[in-house]
Structure 1
Amino acid sequence: MRELTTRPGVYRMIDANGVVMYVGKAKNLKKRVSSYFQKTHSSPRTAHMVERIVRVDVTPTRTEAEALLLENNLIKSLNPRYNILFRDDKSYPYLRITNHTYPRVAYYRGAVDKRSQFFGPFPNAWAVKESIQVLQRVFLLRTCEDTVFAHRSRPCLQAQIQRCSAPCVGRITPEDYALDVAAASRFLRGDHKSVLAELEDKMLEASSLLEFEKAAVFRNQLSALGRVLQKQSVDTTGGEDDADIIAVVIQGGAVCVNLAMVRGGRHLGDKPLFPSVNQVSEDLGPEVLEAFLSQAYVDRPIPPLLIVNQDLDAPELIMALSEQAGRKINLIRQPQSERRKWLDMAVDNARIAIERRIAEQGSAQFRTRALVETLGLEARLEEALQEQGGTREMDIKPLPVAPGTDDAAAELEPVDLLATLRVECFDISHTAGEATQASCVVFHNHDMQSREYRRYNIEGITPGDDYAAMRQAVTRRYQREGKEPIAMPHVVLIDGGKGQIEVVRQVFTELGLDIGLIVGVKKGENRKVGLETLVFPDGRPSLELGPGHPALMLIAQIRDEAHRFAITGMRAKRAKARQASALDEIEGIGAKRKQKLLTRFGGLRGVKAASVEDLMTVDGISSTLAEEIYRRLH
């Protein structure tokens, strides 16, 4: 420890197998790392980890903010066993105002850039869409796609119901529209008073100039904005607060972090998150809160006020967040007045989310157990678990033991036998043989694992040959020579009857795999759910479980997910192929001209809707070529 630096940075706790068990950050690396090797520890969980440490690697950084960023990146890439991990498959949604001459307001999810204005993040899609409706009612901003906007000849329904100022047909000048956009931006930032004052001044000015129609527009905007603000004042103070309310609740062996967002005094809703925790205990709240703050705000803006329900002794973390945000971040543990109501509501919603999750997990485990018992998989699961060094559900699996530690003294943790069940399901999708795609979805740990889904583009077969497509997909999935190995499933579901089953049986035989893993799902009369028959290639008799059987409901859920995943991929592939081929077949259209056309009109649909004169406005498109494009596309 003597050679450790006192600079800020990140440390990694590594076990005897070279596996990173924990990643942490520190203002003073030497002081922080040394604290782990004291005689007493803050929790049994920490003591368990320290017993297994054989090496500590450190990476010094210049500032605490850099340490915060590095720690978050390492946690996401390494998934350390003893870190509290927040996994969220979807990014937070934003409200986007584009940079066009007549900017468009739209829902957006993804990485932000400097080409547009972004407001958020919002806790859910509903909050974004409600804000868009407000902007439509008050500021009459357009929401239509660019391809629609560019080819309107008369106002749309939104303009007729007073939800849009119809810039597509020139009812408003770019200058006046820009003023509405600026007012909308200020409103989204919480500057309601200046927006109201500006609208009132414009109304009075237009009235004094006897421009009564223009004054009526401002009057309507004032009225609509007043109604919006009056509605918001029921639930909030109407102040200028930007705050995140973070409630950590531990109940029934589950941990929930409920994040509620308040922007400009508007309560936008909340979002429950369930972190991955190695061991759950009642005193874990502060550690969960610290992990959330470390991971949640690295790639998104942080408000100036955080309201929490846990005591947090981490001043260096708040300083790092303040440094990253470029302003002071205040953290309040005991809020008063309206803020107390916000926090109490967030805590209540966290408890409700935990109860709902426990109920859902109970139902999921019930279906998993029914499938295991129906297919007789218990012995197979136990055998697979024993090969990994564990035993069945109520027994125990030893954790790795640090060098010099007595094996008998090693701590043990329970293993859920049902959660080890791994099911993979295949489906084929195409349109009359066009754009054939196969999907493989994965069910594990009582839930669908979307990160492990795979799509396979099927090529080199007779169009419409589902058997050949299935053969190719299954072979590519399980033939691992020269490829990274994968975890073999306990069940391979095939959406189809005896024909598809026979093809998969042949592939498994060729690859030396157990054909007992294969289960075919043959559709029943009129393709109704609950009438399916389970078909086996190893000689077992077929099974008709009947409507409502929990095992069949789980199989149907997995099968339907495979179908959804296949058909969405097929449609995207088909659209891409059709977009390319329609223009590629026209003589004189190369890659550059095709790209210019698609960019100018927003896609093939926009190119089809364009007139000859519109096509001639694209660089490199002559009148003769424009006429040829129009003729071929029509």
Structure 2
Amino acid sequence: MQKPSLDIQVKTLPNDPGVYQYYDKDDKLLYVGKAKNLKKRVTSYFTKNHDNYKTKVLVKKINTIKHIVVETETDALLLENNLIKKHQPRFNVMLKDDKTYPWICIKKERFPRVFPTRNLIKDGSEYFGPYTNFKTVNTLLDLIKGLYQLRTCNYDLSQHKIDSGKYKVCLEYHLGNCKGACEGLQGEKEYHQNIEAIREIVKGNFKDSLNRFRKQMVAHAEKMEFEDAQRIKEKIEVLEKYQAKSTVVNPKISNVDVFSIISDESYGYVNFLQLSYGAIIRSHTTEIKKKLEETDKELLELAIIELRQRFGSRSKEIFVPIKVDVGEDLKITIPQLGDKKKIVDLSLRNAKYYRQERFKQIKIIDPDRHIKRLMAQMKKDLRLPEEPKHIECFDNSNIQGTNPVAACVVFKNGKPSKKEYRKFNIKTVEGANDFASMEEVVYRRYKRLLDEEQPLPQLIIVDGGKGQLSSGLKALDDLNLRGKITIIGIAKRLEEIYYPGDSIPLYLDKKSESLKIIQHLRNEAHRFGITFHRQKRSKAALDTELDSIPGIGEKTVVELLKHFRSVKRISEATKKQLEEVVGNSRATKVYNYYLSKKE
């Protein structure tokens, strides 16, 4: 039977929630997606004009469409997640994680042991976690060990073996770390009360243990057992100190998952916090590589489903910064203020810190990826038609209208290319006219690049507002380069970015990497221009001062400067000092010149 065309496959899709699967001509799975309305969602792939290159490639490769109808959108989300993990399609985002996380195990035994493990054995034991690092596990176990005396041996403590006297207490008993259940010195009931308290502490509930210890302390005090009372008091202090350190919000906020996301052009970073009685009992951040320009909402929904499954969360409420659709049985809260808002902000801070750390690592271990991400981000932030791998920035320098000069600095892949920096003496403009000067240097720069058939930049930045931008644009018009190169102006005061024909400036986030690169370009152009201007002023000063002395030529000037290092020292030198360098005749002329100026 001949396979129906793509058009027929799309038209015969149902208007129900479900999961769609795209296959290529070799029946290889390309992409899995979910939809509230299968027909509407799949149709959009073939009717929309996609900006993203990868989406265009995906659509071209689609040969077969399969679908699975489900009852609800939540079912579609779960099924999509499972299919992605199982088949790992090329065009799907995946939350990959090869790590084996540690757990705290309460062993299914008559006198349960409590210990860390990476291996889950289905023998009826209880496992709490997973935790994202062993530091958290060890901190909790140290706390538990300080509060409760538990056995660490792996003996089979059946009643029969205890009664027969098979075991003897070990060093842990004599150190006070164990109560000697192996010799029947501790009852099963008391031991299990401690285990129940430990369960609550691991869950983040310290209230029951604190109340129990307070009752024990009062009981010991009433019996005049002050040493025992003091020992219990110390345990209360340890527990309260730990609780104070771990409680970051209102203790009434319990059994809640918090998710947040920040993203750039290529990656999303999702942070997950798990709260119990106001304490963070888990924090985990994951990096997600974008495949088809996925939105923050799409990435966050995928991450919520995957991370809750991975960490076995049973929370009935989640806090998020944006609206998400992840299940009808989950309460979704987008806090606006108060303690709930604080915890979402904390989650966002964790995601940002993780992103910053990844950037630092990537700069060192994978500079190509860093540059690629940076260029993609600049393209998006500055609304450019292509990535600005080659940027040039212009700055005019003149002080009180003297010695007007200009500078052009060049950045390649976000970094200075100093060998390509250029200086300009202003030739056609009289006095201080920034606008005319800008027009002249922009014209001269690109006229030369065109004549020499050199590559043109993707972005030109002029230091200044609308006036300088208009001048630079006029130069590009004269060269028929308008539309072929993007040109923008940056005004110093508020860092406004101006575009041709747009009276409303663009304001980038002050912490934006794109703005930082633009500022670096502007500052570098200013530094380079000022340095050139100073050199020119110094030379002009020299020309006026020494060359104006009758009978003193260029050779004499060079000899004097070489010896005295500055005009000021020459002017302050004695006649004898000058004679030692240039002889009596010329020394007399220089000395008399400066002597007459002092009178």
TM-score (norm 2): 0.51
Look up the equivalent residue of 2:252 and give its one-letter code: G
Give the superposition deviation at 1:38: 4.1
Select the residue among 284, 303, 307 that pairs with 1:296: 307
Instruction: Determine which of 167, 171, 196 is the counterpart of 1:156.
Output: 171
The answer to whether the Cα contact below 8 Å between 1:82 and 1:277 also exists between their aligned partners in 2 is no
Shift of 1:86: 0.6
1:241 alignment partner, SS class: coil
Q: Does 1:198 align with 2:212?
A: yes
Please, which of 186, 195, 219 is the counterpart of residue 172 of structure 1? 186
Structure 1 residue 85 displacement after superposition = 0.8
- Tell me which residue corresponds to 2:65: 56
Q: How many percent identity over aligned positions?
A: 25
Match of 2:318 among 291, 301, 306: 306
Alpha carbons of 1:349 and 1:232: their partners in 2 closer, same or farther (altered >3 Å)?
closer
C-alpha deviation, 1:230, in angstroms: 3.1
What is the CA-CA distance between 1:55 and the residue it aligns to?
A: 1.8
Letter in 1 for 2:144: L
Quick check: 1:271 aligned with 2:284? yes
**TM-superposed deviation, 1:88:** 0.3
Quote the offset at 1:180 in angstroms. Answer: 0.8
CA gap 1:285/1:67 in 2 versus in 1, 3 angstroms: closer
- By how many angstroms is 1:215 displaced? 5.9
**Counterparts of 1:219 and 1:351, CA distance in 2:** 41
After superposition, residues 225-236 of structure 1 pair within 5 angstroms as: 225-233=239-247, 235-236=248-249
2:34 corresponding residue in structure 1: 25
CA deviation after TM superposition for structure 1 residue 177, in Å: 0.6
Q: Distance in 2 between matches of 1:236 and 1:70?
A: 35
Q: Could you say which residue in structure 1 is the equivalent of 2:143?
A: 134
CA distance in 2, matches of 1:143, 1:29: 57
Q: CA deviation at 1:203?
A: 4.4
Measure, in 2, the Cα distance between the counterparts of 1:102 and 1:182: 12
User: Structure 1: which amino acid aligns with 2:195?
Assistant: V
Check the 8 A contact 1:104/1:142 in 2, yes or no.
Answer: yes
Change (3 A) 1:181 1:38: same
**Deviations 1:462-487 (Å, cap 9, x if unpaired)?**
xxxxxxxxxxxxxxxxxxxxxxxxxx
Q: Distance in 2 between matches of 1:190 and 1:7?
A: 42
- Partners of 1:250 and 1:85 lie apart in 2 by 15
Q: What secondary structure does 1:267 align onto?
A: strand
Partner of 1:248: 261
Mapped pair 1:15 → 2:24: yes
2:112 maps to 1:103: yes
1:222 aligned residue: 236
Cα distance 1:146–1:214, how it changes in 2: closer, same or farther (>3 A)? same
- Opposite residue 193 of structure 1, the aligned amino acid is K
Cα distance in 2, alignment partners of residues 136 and 42 from structure 1: 59
Code of the residue aligned with 1:338 in structure 2: it is D
SS at match of 1:197: helix
Match of 2:271 in 1: 258
Residue deviations 1:31-67, cap 9 Å, x none?
4434444446696654553343222111234555554
Cross-structure match for 2:298: 287
Contact 1:255 / 1:274 at 8 angstroms: preserved in 2?
Answer: yes
1:84 deviates by 1.1
Give the match for residue 338 of structure 1.
339
SS at match of 1:80: coil
Higher relative contact order structure (alpha carbons within 8 Å, sequence separation ≥ 6): 1
Structure 1 residues without counterparts, runs of 5 or longer: 323-328, 369-392, 394-411, 414-634
Listed one character per residue, the Cα deviations across residues 161-213 of structure 1 (whole Å, up to 9, x for unaligned) are 65544434544221111111112222333443333333333444566677778
Shift of 1:348: 3.0
Q: Is the 8 A contact 1:124 1:271 kept in 2?
A: no
Report the alpha carbon displacement of residue 23 of structure 1 after superposing the two structures with TM.
Answer: 0.9
- What RMSD, in angstroms, separates the aligned Cα atoms of the two structures? 4.0
Letter of the aligned partner of 1:184 in structure 2?
I
Aligned residues: 357
CA deviations on 1:196-249 (whole Å, 9 max, x unpaired) are: 33333344456667777876665554343233223334x343334233332322
Residues 25 and 61, structure 2, Cα contact 8 Å, conserved in 1: yes
Opposite residue 308 of structure 1, the aligned amino acid is V
Q: 2:202 aligns with which of 179, 188, 194?
A: 188
Give the letter aligned to residue 349 of structure 1: N
Corresponding position of 2:359: 358
Amino acid corresponding to residue 297 of structure 2 in structure 1: P
Distance 2:18 2:266 in 1: 33
Contact 2:31–2:92 under 8 Å retained in 1: yes
Residue 87 (structure 2) pairs with residue 75 (structure 1): no
- Gaps of at least 5 residues in structure 2 are 1-9, 373-385, 388-599
TM-score normalised by length of structure 1 = 0.49
Q: Residues of 1 paired with 2:207 and 2:99: CA distance?
A: 35
Kept in 2: contact 1:5–1:30 (CA 8 A): yes
SS at match of 1:185: helix
Q: Distance in 2 between matches of 1:141 and 1:271?
A: 30
Aligned to 1:121: 130
Q: What secondary structure does 1:297 align onto?
A: helix
The residue type equivalent to 2:200 in the other structure is R
| TM-aligned CA deviation for residue 106 of structure 1 | 1.6
Q: Max radius of gyration: which structure?
A: 2
Q: Answer yes or no: is the 8 Å Cα contact 1:121–1:301 preserved in 2.
A: no
Q: Please give the alpha-carbon distance, in whole angstroms, between the structure 2 residues aligned to 1:171 and 1:91.
A: 38
